[in-house]
């Protein structure tokens, strides 16, 4: 088992935005140690219950970080390798894990080997490093050759990962990341565009380098088992649950979320063997959840579900303060500066800091919330109840998102005469009747976390 598992709670930072870096790299300026700002945020991050940090792109790039220019140098807008090592050491001293972005599908046009092709053409020793490189036609950007790009974006040049030298270059970079920064995992950008052969070789390499190194892939659509399996990655992003989360509230349709959870983690769930799928309310590529959710008073209910569903929950920096932002063409508005001192001295309409920290503490204190099985108990348009159970530890999670109170009768199989306490309101206790039915009176927009005992 990797050191990153169901005990993990992530905090996700996009450093170029959060640390107020210029949007473009001039490749001439002296390195600026902006990464060191994050050292001052670690107490805050831990107060939210996070014990793992996922850092978006930190290596030299031209603009947004996903257009890599050099895998061996920290982006000069963020600092140096020494600055990243200092941050990594501080995290590990706090027994926190570090996951870095691995952008291996493509590079930027400033990538040193691509520049060599621009200069030397067919005489470049690196011409095989790039997918579908042809010298009988021009690229849309005017090069005397054409090449494959990621998703039609010709500033992102697709690597030919079947070329042994290109693949070895990436593996050498990962080895350096492990040796200098003691990384605990890699999040593979655009994993759904990477070849399965490459990911199998990556897993074999990672197993030799460090059997505990966690590999998680960004996958938007499809059957996650194609990427996450014993031969390839340990986990993927769970975009299905991300979409189901906000839609269930916006559409008053908990049937969507219930269907997804049952399909994934129910008794016949196809992902029951993938307990570390990465779950999130928002990230650097999608609209902030405070903008996505139509009724912002329900943010606390949505995060309640995020922390109680199967998977590893992640908090995107700033969303604990209720940051808003609607996805636009360049996404920088989703990746704003993070001035923690200023933020901590302001009041917020949707301040989720205390709530997230409380949920994280409950999650860590209750094994069933992390490792328990999943079983649907009741679902209606505005009410959703499910249970998670391991050994003799049972948790029942209930949500009422309606604007009015509701009376619920829950059939809890095998729980006749069991007593439950609401861990969110410990003075409230409930007892199943001799038939195993539990009667609940729920207020408008209420969550209940019921534990047997």
Residue 448: half-sphere exposure toward Cβ, Cα within 13 Å = 29
Same domain, 296 and 418: no
262-to-109, 196, 329, 412, 428 alpha-carbon distances in Å: 44, 28, 35, 17, 29
Same domain, 71 and 165: yes
CA distance 260 to 255: 9
Same domain, 249 and 326: yes
- Inside any domain, residue 355: yes
- CA dihedral of 221, 295, 320, 355, whole degrees rounded to 10: -110
Residues 6+ positions from 328 with CB-CB distance below 8 Å:
334
Task: Report the pLDDT averaged over residues 63-69.
Answer: 98
- Inside any domain, residue 146: no
Total structural domains within the chain? 2
Q: Of the candidates 348, 365, 382, which is a domain's last residue?
A: 365
Residues 6+ positions from 448 with CB-CB distance below 8 Å:
396, 397, 398, 422, 424, 425, 440, 442
Task: Report the pLDDT averaged over residues 100-106.
Answer: 98
Identify the sign of the CA torsion 125, 129, 133, 138. negative
Same domain, 333 and 414: no
What's 102's DSSP letter? E
Q: What is the CATH number of the domain that holds 326?
A: 3.20.20.80
Cut 0.85: pTM above it? yes
Tokens of 252: 């008053």
Same domain, 335 and 351: yes
The string of pLDDT tens digits covering residues 198-248 is 999 999 999 999 999 999 999 999 999 999 999 999 999 999 999 999 999
What's 321's DSSP letter? G
Same domain, 361 and 392: no
Q: What is the CATH number of the domain that holds 407?
A: 2.60.40.1180
Q: Of the candidates 334, 365, 396, which is a domain's last residue?
A: 365
Tokens of 83: 């600055």
Same domain, 265 and 382: no
pLDDT at res. 347: 85
Given pLDDT bands bounded at 50, 70 and 90, which one contains residue 133?
A: very high
- Inside any domain, residue 288: yes
Task: Report the pLDDT averaged over residues 364-383.
Answer: 98
pLDDT at res. 348: 87
- Inside any domain, residue 121: no
**Count of C-beta atoms within a 10 Å radius of residue 23:** 12
- Inside any domain, residue 116: no
What's 284's DSSP letter? T
**Count of C-beta atoms within a 10 Å radius of residue 119:** 9
Same domain, 296 and 233: yes
Given pLDDT bands bounded at 50, 70 and 90, which one contains residue 453?
A: confident
The string of pLDDT tens digits covering residues 293-312 is 999 999 999 999 999 999 99
**216: nearest Cα among 237, 231, 239:** 237
- Inside any domain, residue 132: no
Tokens of 90: 């501080």
- Inside any domain, residue 124: no
Same domain, 188 and 240: yes
Same domain, 352 and 329: yes
What's 223's DSSP letter? -
What's 136's DSSP letter? S
Same domain, 310 and 431: no
92-to-42, 108, 182 alpha-carbon distances in Å: 11, 31, 9
Contact between 249 and 302 (Cβ < 8 Å): yes
Q: Which domain holds residue 191?
A: 10-105+161-365
CA distance 103 to 66: 6
Among residues of the chain, what percentage have pLDDT more than 70?
100
Estimate to the nearest angstrom the gap between the alpha carbon of 298 and the chain centroid.
21
Same domain, 314 and 392: no
3-state helix, strand, coil in the chain (%, to 5): 35, 25, 40
Residues 6+ positions from 115 with CB-CB distance below 8 Å:
109
- Inside any domain, residue 145: no
Q: Of the candidates 322, 343, 365, which is a domain's last residue?
A: 365
């Amino acid at each position: 088992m990797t050191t990153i598992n169901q005990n993990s709670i992530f905090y996700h930072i996009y450093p170029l935005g959060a640390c107020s870096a210029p949007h473009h790299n001039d490749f001439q300026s002296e390195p600026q140690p902006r990464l060191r700002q994050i050292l001052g945020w670690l107490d805050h991050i831990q107060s939210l219950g996070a014990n793992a940090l996922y850092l978006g792109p930190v290596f030299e790039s031209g603009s947004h970080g996903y257009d890599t220019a050099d895998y061996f140098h920290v982006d000069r807008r963020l600092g140096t390798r020494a600055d990243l090592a200092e941050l990594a050491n501080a995290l590990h001293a706090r027994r926190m894990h570090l996951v870095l972005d691995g952008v291996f599908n493509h590079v930027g046009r400033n990538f040193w080997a691509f520049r060599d092709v621009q200069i030397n053409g067919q005489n470049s020793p690196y011409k095989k490093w790039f997918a579908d490189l042809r010298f009988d036609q021009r690229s849309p950007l005017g090069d005397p050759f054409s090449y494959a790009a990621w998703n039609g974006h010709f500033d992102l040049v697709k690597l030919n990962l079947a070329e042994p030298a290109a693949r070895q270059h990436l593996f050498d970079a990962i080895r350096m990341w492990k040796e200098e920064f003691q990384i605990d995992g890699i999040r593979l950008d655009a994993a759904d565009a990477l070849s399965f052969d490459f990911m199998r070789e990556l897993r074999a390499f990672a197993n030799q380098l460090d059997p505990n190194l966690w590999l998680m892939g960004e996958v938007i659509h499809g059957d996650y088992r194609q990427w996450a399996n014993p031969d390839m990655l340990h986990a993927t992003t769970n975009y299905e649950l991300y979409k189901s989360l906000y839609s269930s509230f916006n559409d008053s349709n908990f049937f969507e979320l219930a269907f997804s959870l049952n399909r994934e983690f129910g008794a016949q769930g196809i992902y029951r063997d993938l307990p570390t799928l990465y779950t999130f309310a928002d990230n650097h590529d999608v609209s902030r959840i405070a903008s996505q959710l139509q009724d912002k008073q329900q943010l606390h209910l949505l995060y309640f579900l995020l922390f109680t569903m199967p998977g590893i929950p992640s908090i995107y920096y700033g969303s604990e303060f209720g940051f808003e932002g609607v996805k636009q063409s360049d996404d920088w508005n989703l990746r704003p500066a993070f001035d923690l001192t200023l933020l901590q001295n302001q009041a917020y309409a949707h301040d989720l800091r205390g709530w997230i920290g409380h949920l994280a503490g409950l999650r860590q204190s209750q094994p069933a919330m992390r490792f328990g099985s999943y079983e649907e108990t009741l679902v209606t348009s505005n009410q959703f109840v499910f249970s998670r159970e391991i050994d003799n530890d049972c948790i029942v999670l209930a949500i009422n998102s309606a604007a009015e109170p509701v009376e619920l009768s829950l059939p809890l199989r095998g729980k006749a005469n069991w007593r439950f306490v609401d861990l969110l309101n410990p003075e409230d206790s409930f007892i199943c009747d001799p038939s195993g039915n539990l009667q609940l009176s729920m207020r408008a927009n209420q969550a209940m976390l019921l534990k047997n005992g």
